[in-house]
Amino acid sequence: MSSMDLDAFKAKATAFLDGVSTRRSVEDGPFVWGQGSDNVAIVEETDEESEAEMVGKAKGWAAAGYDAGFGWINGPVEFGGEGLPNEYATAYRALEQKYEVPDLSIFMINLGMVGPTVAVHARPEVKADVLPKLYRGDWVSCQLFSEPTAGSDLAAVSAKAVRDGDEWVVTGQKVWTSNAHLADVGEILCRTDPDAPKHAGITGFLVDMKAPGVEVRPLRQMTGGAAFNEVFFDEVRIPDTWRLGRSTRMGRCDDDPDE
Ligand SMILES: Cc1cc2nc3c(=O)[nH]c(=O)nc-3n(C[C@H](O)[C@H](O)[C@H](O)COP(=O)(O)OP(=O)(O)OC[C@H]3O[C@@H](n4cnc5c(N)ncnc54)[C@H](O)[C@@H]3O)c2cc1C
């Protein structure tokens, strides 16, 4: 779609949206204090069956949009994007809001955190493999940062990754991991150099959430739902190719993608 002008793009987007959805009958008006729902939940709390239905609908919507060229409008073509300027992506989002769209919140971490990090810090072959899966919604991702003793003080991370040949071996615990129970892949921060100053001894990786040694335990909230999890890693192996950016001294290698 790289040579299409904005009006032609909007017409194509409108035709696509007309084909897969219906226009919302009442558009949201301006926000007015005291009016509307009292629901302030950040994360929906639902039962397993409804959650599975929600995930199915979200994945279907994301795949249809991606296949029609509206999944990663402003992303680089070589990694599965459409290569269009940001204003095209903004125009599509504005159009999409006029239609009935499933709950897409499971992709918030794909699109807002893991995707952008991979796009900057992963090796080119990993970008080409992983980014289309994240932006098409084939994979759900989670972020594995917080630990029982590393919250606001994220630099206190203690889950460790130890280099073993072409792999890293991860052991430790994460907590408050939104969507871990649905995730195919996670972005994890691990301590790779216990001797470095604490802010400097940490390395990021992608991790296969279905790998042997990964255990996801739901945290039941007093409100009934279980959107957050504890995640335990017991000698989980990650290929070095899934490292994000440079590693710290202990595992540093010559093919660091940022160098
Ligand atoms: C909706 C939601 C979703 C989340 N999803 C994820 C997720 O997907 N992945 C993930 O890794 N984490 C997630 N988190 C966890 C979140 O990142 C942590 O809650 C955060 O890191 C804070 O850590 P903590 O809860 O251990 O609080 P603490 O760090 O223990 O802080 C407790 C209180 O002490 C205050 N405090 C801390 N240090 C200081 C200081 N030095 N001086 C003064 N005051 C201080 C804090 O402001 C806070 O009020 C999520 C949290 C929420 C609310």
Reply yes or no on whether the pLDDT at 18 is more than 80: yes
pTM assigned to the model: 0.90
Q: What is the pLDDT of residues 84-120, one digit of tens each?
A: 999 999 999 999 999 999 999 999 999 999 999 999 9
The domain ranges of the chain are: 6-103, 141-251
- CATH entry, 141-251, from 3.30.450.20, 2.40.110.10, 3.20.20.100, 3.10.20.740: 2.40.110.10
User: Given a cut of 80, is residue 26 above it in pLDDT?
Assistant: no
Nearest CA to ligand 1 atom 15: 176
Among 150, 148, 125, which residue's Cα sits nearest to residue 202?
150
Tens of pLDDT, residue by residue over 149-206, are 999 999 999 999 999 999 999 999 999 999 999 999 999 999 999 999 888 899 999 9
Q: Which atom of ligand 1 is nearest to the CA of 154?
A: 21
With beta carbons less than 8 A apart as the criterion, state whether 205 and 161 touch. Answer: yes
Measuring CA to CA, how many Å separate 162 from each of 100, 136, 197, 236, 250? 47, 32, 17, 10, 8
CA distances from residue 99 to 85, 131, 157 in whole angstroms, order as listed: 23, 26, 42
Give the residue-averaged pLDDT of 115-129. 96
Which pLDDT score, from 0 to 100, does residue 246 have? 76
Residue 2 scores a pLDDT above 60:
no
Residue to probe by mutation, ligand 1, list 146, 177, 188, most atoms within 8 Å of CB: 146
Residue 149 CA to ligand 1 centre (angstroms)? 10
For residues 10 and 45, which has the higher predicted lDDT (pLDDT)?
10
Number of Cβ within a 10 Å radius of residue 12: 16
| Nearest CA among 95, 64, 69 for reference residue 82 | 69
